[in-house]
Amino acid sequence: MEEMRQFLPLKVTAAGTDPDGIVLSGDRWRLRVNTNWRISQAGKLILSSSTAGDLSAGYKLEDIVGDEIIEFGVQAREVGFDLSVRTLRGWVLEIFSDFSYGEWIFSAWQPGDRRQTPIFDLEGPVVDGLY
What are 51-103's pLDDT values in tens digits?
Answer: 776 655 567 889 999 999 999 988 766 655 788 999 999 999 999 888 777 78
- d(Cα 123, Cα 6) in Å, to the nearest integer? 16
With 0-12 / 13-18 / 19 or more C-beta atoms within 10 angstroms meaning exposed / middle / buried, residue 22 is buried
pTM higher than the cut 0.85: yes
Q: Confirm whether 9 is domain-assigned.
A: yes
Q: Confirm whether 12 is domain-assigned.
A: yes
Q: Confirm whether 46 is domain-assigned.
A: yes
Q: Confirm whether 25 is domain-assigned.
A: yes
Count up the domains in the chain and report the number.
Answer: 1
Q: Confirm whether 108 is domain-assigned.
A: yes
Range of the domain at 79: 2-124
Write out pLDDT tens, residues 108-131.
Answer: 999 889 899 999 998 888 765 544
Q: Confirm whether 131 is domain-assigned.
A: no
Q: Confirm whether 27 is domain-assigned.
A: yes
pLDDT score recorded for residue 80: 59
